[in-house]
Amino acid sequence: MSTLQIDFGHAKPRIVGIDLGTTNSLVAVMDLTGPRILSGIVPSVVSVTSSGEVIAGSEAREMLITHPERTVYSVKRLMGRGMADVQDELKLFPFRIAENSESVLKLQLGDKVMTPPEISAHVLRKLKEDAEDVLGAPVTQAVITVPAYFNDAQRQATKDAGRIAGLDVLRLVNEPTAAALAYGLDKRKEGIVAVYDLGGGTFDISILRLHDGIFEVLATSGDTHLGGDDIDNLLLQIALEDIQSEWGENVSDNAGLVQLLRRAVIQAKEALSFAPSAWIDLEYGPRKYQREIDVQLFNRLIEPIVERTLGPCRSCIKDAGVTVEQLNEVVMVGGLTRIPLVRSAVERLFRKRPHTELNPDEVVALGAAVQAGILGGEVADKLLLDVTPLSLGIETMGGLMSKLIHRNSTIPASATELFTTAVDGQTNVLIHVLQGERELVKDCRSLARFDLKEIEPMIAGMARIQVRFLIDANGILNVTAKDLRSGKEQSMDVKPSYGLTDDQVEAMILESYDKAEEDFKERQVREARVEADAILGATDKAREDDAYQALSEEDRAAIDRAMNELRLAYHSDDHLLIRNQIEKLNQATMSLAEAIMNEAVGKALKGTNINA
């Protein structure tokens, strides 16, 4: 990489686009030729090693089987949620909730306790580092995608995760909308398109109108707890029951086995998209479990899940004020849209063959990169006008919800309300802000309580406090209040119902800086040193080999010289210099390595047992 490194020193810092998925995460960037994925898929799994280090990605996914008690997956399901929300999840997922989880959910991972945003931050940090390695420059700004149907708390939690990971989150973009951007659908100057996104944990449907580069979302709907995880859990249940009857033993408490089985189940599920039948195949020590599942059975199992996506589709069409006939295109996003039953259900409902040209795993990240390009100014001809998925309101007398901003309103959107006091001398007014479509407060989602305080005592009804509710372009609520009598800003306390306060996030940012966050350059140096250690160690060992003695004096001197030079460079903090010397040592030891290799192959061949 070092030789090909392009100097970005004078260029604007790059904004990356990140798809922070339930199962898989990806990072992409906008190039002159279009959006480009920067590194491979990063599984959204986080694990704590025995030495207390936190790792994320493929390595962590391996730990699911070896150390299930210190590893967590699908944490997106817990973002912005409270204890009461996750009771159902807890039955199906091996989440271990730590004590003191009343105000903010906390997970126990080994001896570490982490909130969902902190856990997601580790996935984000991994993506950030991958991106930095490819770009050869620090990355500090990002666009992150969220399910369109995410509520305020879930969005806020995602933004918090970004901040904790050291990223300035310039925008949250809805996943289906991002996909529409990536699909280049705007080649059609005018048109109406639907995006159907069924992933690992969430389902979204959005309908957009395209107009000369403007992507105007007309309506969106979905379910933030519907996806591949649910299919996995169904199959897992069946397999566990099978095993119970075959082995005469309930193994559902054996977390390692369950994870191994979950992996086997996922393999079968994915294979069934391309084959008429597949095996769930488990080997656990000396014991085996095998079961064939054919497509007919699989379809019967998942039909209710597929069916659950169609209701939101119908209401979205209605809310968008369009008919099925008016829709020009349907786009499929998310790993689950590879399932033939899903495709045929969508085709039947929308009466058109859906687009599946782009890789459904990558399209959201690519779209996030396009949005990053829009924000960075490189993409000038596109603009996204998104909507808020849920109505926003306040609690009024009798436990009723009074709507201020209706769902599917284009964001930013705002509303103002005038508040006053009800009794003489009252100095506080409490505003309870909610999100949801139902009439009763108890059926809506509590967002926060705002306490307008230090109101000047006066006769009831005299105070005039104007409160402005603004849903910003990220879909996040901002509230400001003004005392109309004095014209001054009204002071208030905010208590979010779920999630972290600003102070808590700040503390986590500091903590993550202390422990894990390193400056990009430092990391480059550290990585170069790790490589240097490896090659120096290997060379030292090789020098004890007979092959070393067999080298010419000249060759041996060259190796020694290169080793010394690398050791000198080692303590500089210039990673390019270190890598340069590594490369030189590599060259110098080329013939030595070859000689040793031949020797080893020779030995290996001699020892080969033909019966093995």
Partner 1 sequence: MKFYDALGLEPKLALDSDDVKKRFYDRSRQWHPDRFSRASSEEKQRSEEMTAVLNDAFRALRDPVTRAEYFLRESGLELSKDAPPELLEEVFDLNMALEELRGGDESARPQLAAAQERFTGMLGDADASLAEYFTNYDEKPDRAVLDEIHATLNRRRYVSNLVREVEKELNVHSAN
Ligand X SMILES: Nc1ncnc2c1ncn2[C@@H]1O[C@H](COP(=O)(O)OP(=O)(O)OP(=O)(O)O)[C@@H](O)[C@H]1O
* Beta strands at 329-333 and 190-198: parallel, antiparallel or unpaired: parallel
User: 228-247 vs 295-319: helix axis angle to the nearest 10?
Assistant: 150
- Which amino acid is it at 578? I
- According to CB under 8 A, which residues from 143 to 172 bind partner 1? 170-171
ω into residue 138 within 30 of 0, thus cis?
A: no
- Concerning whether 187 is annotated as a catalytic residue, the answer is no
Tell me the CA distances in angstroms from 94 to 80, 90, 355, 478, 584, one per residue in order: 18, 7, 36, 35, 49
- Respond yes or no: is residue 19 known to be catalytic: yes
Rounded to whole angstroms, the Cα distance separating 350 from 328 reads 10
Report helix angle 575-588 to 553-570, nearest 10: 170
Closest CB to ligand X among 360 and 475? Answer: 360
Contact stretch for ligand X (CB under 6 A) within 16-24, 234-242, 396-404, 551-559: 16-24
Residue identified by tokens 């104007």 is 466
The token duo for 546 is: 């007979």
- Which tokens is 8 given? 């970005």
Instruction: Examine the residue annotation and report whether 253 is marked as an active-site residue of this protein.
Output: no
Q: Is 17 in the site for ligand X (CB under 6 A)?
A: no
Report the nearest approach of ligand X to the CB of residue 175 (Å). Answer: 6
Question: Segment contacting partner 1 (CB under 8 A): 85-93, 123-131, 339-347, 377-385?
Answer: 377-385
The whole-angstrom separation of Cα 279 and Cα 268 is 6
C-beta closer to partner 1: residue 414 or 586: 414
Q: Using the rule CB under 8 A, is 30 a contact of partner 1?
A: no
Residue number with CB closer to partner 1 (214 or 479): 214
Distance between CA atoms of residues 420 and 406, nearest Å: 24
Residue 91 is encoded by which pair of tokens? 């039955």
374 in contact with partner 1 (CB under 8 A): yes
Stretch that binds partner 1, among 180-188, 348-356, 383-391, 446-454 (CB under 8 A): 383-391
- Binding pattern for the stretch 203-242 against ligand X, x by CB under 6 A and - elsewhere: ------------------------xx--------------
Binding-site member from 57, 166, 199, 393 for ligand X (CB under 6 A): 199
Q: In the complex with partner 1, which residue's Cβ is closer, 7 or 381?
A: 381
Q: Is 191 in the site for partner 1 (CB under 8 A)?
A: no
Question: Smallest distance, Å, CB 26 to partner 1?
Answer: 22
The DSSP code sequence of 26-42 is EEEEEETTEEEE-S--E
* Amino acid, single-letter form, for residue 600: A
Rounded Cα gap, residues 373 and 359, in angstroms: 21
Q: Is 96 helix (H, G, I), strand (E, B) or coil?
A: coil
- Of 199, 227, 367, 496, the residue at the interface with Mg ion (CB under 5 A) is 199
Q: d(Cα 228, Cα 305) in Å, to the nearest integer?
A: 9
Residue 367 lies near Mg ion (rule: CB under 5 A): no
Q: For this structure, is 453 an active site residue?
A: no
Q: Which residues are catalytic?
A: 19, 76, 175, 197
What is the contact surface with ligand X in residues (CB under 6 A)? Answer: 21-24, 76, 175, 199-202, 227-228, 266, 269-270, 273, 334-336, 338-339, 360-361
What is the contact surface with partner 1 in residues (CB under 8 A)? Answer: 170-171, 211-212, 214, 371, 374-377, 383-385, 409-414, 470, 472-473
What is the contact surface with Mg ion in residues (CB under 5 A)? Answer: 21, 199
